[in-house]
Amino acid sequence: MAIKEIRVPPLGDVEAVDVIEVLVKPGDRVEPDTPLITLESDKASMDMPSPEAGKVQEVLVKVGDKVKEGDAVVRLEVSEAAQALQTAPEPKARAPEPSPPPPSQAAPRPAPPPPVSVAAPPYASPSVRRFARKLGVDLSQVQGSGPKGRIVREDVENFVKARLSASSAGGLAIPAVPEVDFAKFGPVETLSLSRIKRLTGPHLRRAWLNAPQVTQHHEVDISELEAFREALRPEAERRGVKLTLLAFVLKVLPKVLAEFPSFNASLAPDGQSLILKRYYHIGVAVATPEGLVVPVIRDVDRKGVWALAEELQEVSARARASKLKPDDLQGGSFSVSSLGGIGGGFFTPIVNVPEVAILGIAKARMQPVWDGSQFVPRWMLPVSLSYDHRVIDGAEGAKFIVRFGELLQDLRKSIL
């Protein structure tokens, strides 16, 4: 093996340049054109490449040194055979100038996107630029900590760490699902999503990623309520109104929300305070042929069961006919999703952020319930409460859903 000193190539009319980065250390293996150090003049910066392959024995310079043409910077251990075969002179690097890196650098890489403004390009060495491109970092967003505001490798690393921390605090982005060619497995058909699903999809994704959600389940005995509702059927027919269980749910909710105000609230954008709402505008999820929409029933606390039943019937009809106005979908403080007309049991409704809670109602079913001496048939209603765990803890969630069940089970308690 032979030891060869790698020296600074001709610098043109530049007398001396600064060493701003040392890119190798003793023991490193390098190949021809591997950058060894980064040099900087008053005009620009450039990487100094290795003229041949070998093992770094010693680095003779450090960051902050000034070097001139002919100064030794690295001692490289090369094979004697390679040294004997080398007949051509060492490749000479061009003098620093504000232009792309010389062709003696590593194999061509994709160029960064063209600048979108006339502002000066970020102040960074070619090696730092390559590092930033590898990580997908836009250097125009990075603050340099080096001399004269130069961006160094640590600045890029710190920028990436800060972005990851910010993502963790506000809902970490997840990798995209890989694209799959399903046609290679069998016949397929592509069907466009409805306009409503295309609009609500991103909102649901934001809600799920930004709010840590917990779902609490409970069963409510509504046997007496169902008997009362059945007794009101003739009056409902006379009024031309469909008296659903949901109208009673809406009637009870303002009472429960008043007792648990943190459920009728929104978390402030800074995450440090809670905005309590002194109104009760409740969103009601309505299934339409185009997808799910959530019109808002306003001032629920000021309306009786008949008025709520009429409004539910009217707004549901407008939703299914695609005649809702923008105002119909805004201003909710709490939401309800009812599957009673469809069936099923417990489920996990997604909180309609920036609200902090949503109540899911499934279909009531007759079940045998032990009354202390025997099993008796009772109408049991599955309910599911999802909430933002940053605002509401498990104990609060349990108390809320139990209190809701008490009031729905015995409507007389709601007037006390």
CB 262 within 8 A of CB 356: yes
Residues 340-361: tens digit of each pLDDT = 778 888 999 999 999 999 999 9
Q: CA-based diameter of the chain, in Å? A: 108
CB 286 within 8 A of CB 221: no
* Dihedral sign from CA coordinates of 263, 268, 271, 273: negative
- Tell me the one-letter amino acid at 216: Q
State residue 104's pLDDT score. 46
Specify which residues 315 forms β-bridges with. Answer: none
Q: Is the pLDDT of residue 372 over 70?
A: yes
Q: Is the pLDDT of residue 71 over 90?
A: yes
Within 13 A of 114's CA, how many CA atoms are on the CB side?
A: 2
State residue 118's pLDDT score. 39
Q: What is the DSSP secondary structure assignment for residue 91, as one 8-state letter?
A: P
Q: Which of 36-45, 160-169, 226-235 has the highest mean pLDDT?
A: 226-235
State residue 165's pLDDT score. 66
Higher pLDDT, 10 or 299: 299
Task: Classify residue 301 by burial, with Cβ atoms within 10 Å: 0-12, 13-18, 19+.
Answer: middle
Q: Is the pLDDT of residue 119 over 80?
A: no
Q: What is the mean pLDDT of residues 308-337?
A: 93
State how far the alpha carbon of 13 is from the alpha carbons of 16, 104, 283, in Å.
9, 20, 74
Residues above pLDDT 70, as percent of the chain: 86
* Dihedral sign from CA coordinates of 403, 408, 414, 416: negative
User: pTM of the prediction?
Assistant: 0.58
Cβ burial 91-122 (10 Å sphere, 16+ → b, else e): eebebbeeeebbebbbeeeeeeeeeeeeeeeb
Residues 274-283: tens digit of each pLDDT = 999 999 999 9
Q: Where in the chain is the domain with CATH 2.40.50.100?
A: 2-108
**Catalytic, out of 203, 217, 218, 389:** 389
- Identify the helix (H) or strand (E) that includes residue 202: helix 195-210
- Reported as a pLDDT band with limits 50, 70 and 90, residue 412 is confident
Q: Is the pLDDT of residue 171 over 60?
A: no
Residues 282-300: tens digit of each pLDDT = 999 998 888 889 999 999 9
- Tell me the one-letter amino acid at 88: A
- Is 218 catalytic? The answer is no
Residues 37-57: tens digit of each pLDDT = 988 776 567 888 898 899 999
State residue 103's pLDDT score. 47
Q: Is the pLDDT of residue 64 over 50?
A: yes
Taking all residues of the chain, what is their mean pLDDT, rounded to a whole number?
A: 85
Answer CATH for 195-415 from 3.20.20.140, 3.40.50.2000, 3.30.930.10, 3.30.559.10: 3.30.559.10
Give CA–CA dist 409/7, Å, rounded: 89
State residue 146's pLDDT score. 76
Can you read off the two tokens belonging to residue 252?
A: 């009870």
Neighbouring C-beta atoms of residue 9, cutoff 10 Å: 21
Q: What angle do CA 375, 381, 387 make, to 5 degrees?
A: 135
Residues 93-115: tens digit of each pLDDT = 455 555 555 544 444 555 554 44
Q: What is the mean pLDDT of residues 242-260?
A: 96
Answer CATH for 2-108 from 2.40.50.100, 3.40.718.10, 3.90.1150.10, 2.70.98.70: 2.40.50.100
Between β-strands 54-59 and 66-67, what pairing exists: parallel, antiparallel or unpaired? unpaired
CB 81 within 8 A of CB 54: no
Higher pLDDT, 11 or 121: 11
Q: Where in the chain is the domain with CATH 3.30.559.10?
A: 195-415
State residue 169's pLDDT score. 52
